[in-house]
Amino acid sequence: MASTQQIAIAGGGPGGLYAAALLKRLDPTRRVTLWERNAPDDTFGFGIVLSDETLGGIEHADPVVYEALRKEFVRWEDIDIVHRGNRHTSSGHGFAALGRRRLLEILHDRCRSLGVDLRFRAPAPDPARLMETHDLVIAADGVHSTTRTAFQEVFRPRITPHRCRYIWLAADFAFDAFRFEIAETEHGVMQLHGYPYSADASTVIVEMREEVWRAAGFGELDETESIERCAKIFSEALGGRPLRSNNSVWTTFRTVVNERWSHENLVLLGDAAHTAHFSIGSGTKLAVEDALALAACLREHPTVPEALTAYEAERRPVVASTQRAARASLEWFENLGLYLDQPPLRFAFNLLTRSRRVTHDNLRLRDARFTESVEREFGCPPGTPPMFTPFRLRDLTLRNRVVVSPMDMYSAVDGVPGDFHLVHLGARALGGAGLVMTEMVCVSEQGRITPGCAGLYTGRQAEAWRRIVDFVHTRSPGTAIGVQLGHSGRKGSTKLMWEGMDEPLDHGNWPLVAASPLPYKPGSQTPRELTRAQLTDIREQFTAAAQRAARAGFDLLELHCAHGYLLSGFLSPLTNRRTDAYGGSLQKRLRFPLEVFDAVRAVWPEDRPMTVRISATDWAEGGNTADDAVEIARAFAEHGADAIDVSTGQVVADEQPEFGRSYQTPFADRIRHRVGIPVIAVGAISSWDDVNSLILAGRADLCALARPHLYDPHWTLHAAAEQGYQGPGAVWPAPYRAGSRRPQTGRTDAPKPRLTLDV
C-alpha cells in the first residue's frame, strides 16, 4: 500500500467527498483534509443519475454510503420522446436518481463519521505548497479547476467549447419518465431534458444552439425572465407548472481532456480531469468511479507515483470511451434540426441511439415492442433485420445494406489482378454482402500507389477483371460488384503496405504528379504540379478506365476522391496551393474532380450507379471540415452522383484523427440529411448490431466494412445466422447451405451443483 498519511483534497463535490471517505475508511490513521470554497449546503444543479454499475462499486467499497443512497433513490424505466405532438415511450432502461444536495449531505455525514477534516467556505491553499506538506494531493475542483490551471504546462489540457447554451432548472413535480421534448419555435429548435430526482421534484435542462439562444433574446433576460420564458415554451411538458432555479445561469458545455492526469504526488479527479456531456448523465458517475479506482490503486501499489500511474492507466480508456459517446450525443443535439422531418418513430429511435452505446439489439432486448414498431415504420418485412432490407441505386437493387469496403491487396502483377483477387473478391461475394467493391483500381501505370496495385489501363487488365466479375455474377447471383477508380497522386511509388506503408521505393521509382508540388511527408518524393495538358490526359485516363470497367461488367463505379490521392489532393486546401482556376476557393478546388466525374459519368452506362468516396475531414488544422464535406457532397450530387461514400483523413501525414467506434458515421449522417443524397458509412463499423442501428436510425443507407471481412469472408451470412434470419437478403450458396446454422459447441446444460459445502 502506498504511504499516504497526509492527504489534501481540493473540491467538495461528490468525487472529492467520496475519495475522502474511501481513503479514510481504508486507513483510519490517515489525516484527510478537504477544502471547499462554498458553504456545505451550496450546490448547483438539482438531480443526479447513477448507473447500477456505479452503485455496485459503491456497495462493495462502502456499504454505509450505498445503503444511505439506496433509501433515497427514485427509480424508473421509461424514456418519453415528444416531438410534433407525437409521444413515444421506450421502456426497460432502468434509471436511479436522487437530489444532488441530498447526495452531498450523505457524503458529508459519512466523511464526518470517519474523521475527515471538512473545511467549507475555504479555498484550497496553493497546490504547490500542498504538494510539499502532504503525501497526496487530489484536485477535485471541477471543470474550472485552479489546480489544473496552475500546472497546465504539465497536464496540458485541451478545453473545447460547444455550440449549445443550456440552463439547469427544476420543477416541483416528478416526471414519470426520462423526458425529451422538442420545441420548434420561431427562433429555432429548443429541447428539454427532464427526469425525476425525488417523489415531488424533477431536474429540467433547457438547451438550444447559440444562435437560437441569441435570436430568442435570452441573452438580454435576467434569471427570473429566462425561467419564465422556458416554462412558457415547455408549458405542455410541465403541465403549466413553473420552473425554479438555484443560481442558474445559461452556460456553454466545455469538453475537458488532459494529456496527463498526475504530476509527482498531485492527481486530477472528476471534472478537473475530464468532462462528458450531461445528455448521457455521466459527470457524477465518472467522478465517483474515479474515486473508487484511485483508492484501489493506492491500496494495491507500493508508492504514490506507481499508484497514480496505475489509476490513470485504468481510468483513461473508460473515460475516453465515455467522452466519445458523450460527444456523439451532444453533437446529435447540436444538429437536432437535421432530424426533425424524420418519421416519428425513426426520430425517437435515432435519439435513443444517438451516443452509439444504445443499439438496435440491446434496445430490442429492453423493449421489443417499441423496436418492432420502428422496424415496421422503416419497412422491414416481419422477421427481417434492417440490414437485410434491399436498397436501390438507379437500376441496381442491392439485396442488403452490407458493402465489402475497398481494400488494397497490393498483389497484382503489372496491374493485372490474378488468382488471389479472384479468390479474395469471390469469397466475399459468396459471403453474402450486397455489394463487393474492388480495391482502388489505378487508371494509369504512373497512377499506382505501389508496384502491386491493380489497374484498368490495358486490355489484359480488363480481361482479368471480367473473369472476376463473371465469377461473382455466376457463382453468387444477387451479389453486385463495384469498381473503385483512382490515381495515387503524390502518394504513389511506395512500398507494399507490409514492407513499409507510404515509404518510397528503394529503387524503381516513377515520377509523381499532384495538384501542387508538395511531398506527402518528409522523405517522400516531391510530385510535379500538373499542367493543363496533363489534367486533360488524366481525365481521359479515367474515362478510358471507366469504359473498360463497363465492358468488364461491373455493376457500379466509385470515383476515389479521398485519402490524399490525386483527386482528393485537389479538394484539400492543405494539398492544393494552386493559383490558377483549379485552386483557391472550394469551388475552384472542386473543378478538376468534377470534370473527371462528368467525363466518367458520360461514358458509364446510364442505368448503372456512380458513387464518390470523399474524406469528410482532413483531421488537420486548416484542412477541409465537416461543413466543407457537405458542400463537396452537394457538388457531386448536383453533377449526378448516386451516393457518397464517406470516409475521413489520410490526406496529410500529420493528421490527428479521433478514432472510436463508428467514428466516421456522424460525417455521413450530416451529409445524408443536409444534402439529401444516400450515403455509405465506413470506419470502425464492426458488428451487425452497428449496421442495424445505423440503418434504422437513418444515419446511413449502406454500411461498408473492411477488417471484419478480412477476419470473416462470410461475415454477412454469419450475421444472418446469428440473428435467426433466413430470407432473400442473405442467400447461402447451394454448396454452403449445410453450414447455415452455427456449429454446436461444448455442452452447456450439464446439471448444476445442488449443494455448496464449506471447506
- Residues with catalytic function: 565
Would you list the DSSP string of 101-163?
HHHHHHHHHHHHHHT-EEEES-PPPPHHHHHHH-SEEEE---TT-HHHHHTHHHH-EEEEEEE
The single-letter code of the amino acid at 193 is H
CB 611 within 8 A of CB 642: yes
Instruction: Quote the CA–CA distance of 398 and 221 in Å, as a whole number.
Output: 55
E-strand ranges in 259-298 read 262-263, 266-268
Burial 235-257 (b: 16+ CB within 10 A, else e): eebbeeeebebeebebeebebbe
14 and 48 in contact (C-beta within 8 Å)?
A: yes
Distance of alpha carbon 33 from alpha carbon 674, whole angstroms:
54
Strand 556-561 to strand 480-486: parallel, antiparallel, or no bridges (unpaired)?
A: parallel
* CA end-to-end distance (rounded Å), the chain: 30
The C-alpha cell 429541447 sits at 191
Closest CA to 293 of 274, 315, 272, 275: 315
Other beta carbons within 10 Å of 570: 27
CA 79 to mean position of chain CA atoms? 22
Phi then psi for 338, rounded to 5 degrees? -65, -25
Residue type at position 51: S
Distance (Å, rounded) from C-alpha 282 to C-alpha 357? 13
The residue type of 278 is F
Distance of CA 57 to the CA centre of its chain: 27
- The amino acid at residue 112 is R
Residue in 169, 167, 183, 191 with CA at minimum distance from that of residue 332? 191
CA–CA dist 388, 400 (Å, integer): 4
Helix (H) or strand (E) holding 371, with range, is helix 368-378
**SS (HEC) of 639-705:** CCCCEEEEECCCCCCCCCCCCCCCCCHHHHHHHHHHHCCCEEEECCCCCHHHHHHHHHHCCCCEEEE
Angle at 119 between CA 118 and CA 124, to 5 degrees: 120
Q: What is the DSSP string of 422-461?
A: HHHHHHHHHTT-SEEEEEEEESSSTT-SSTT--B-SSHHH
* 266-268 sheet: strands from edge to edge: 117-120, 31-36, 6-10, 136-139, 266-268, 262-263
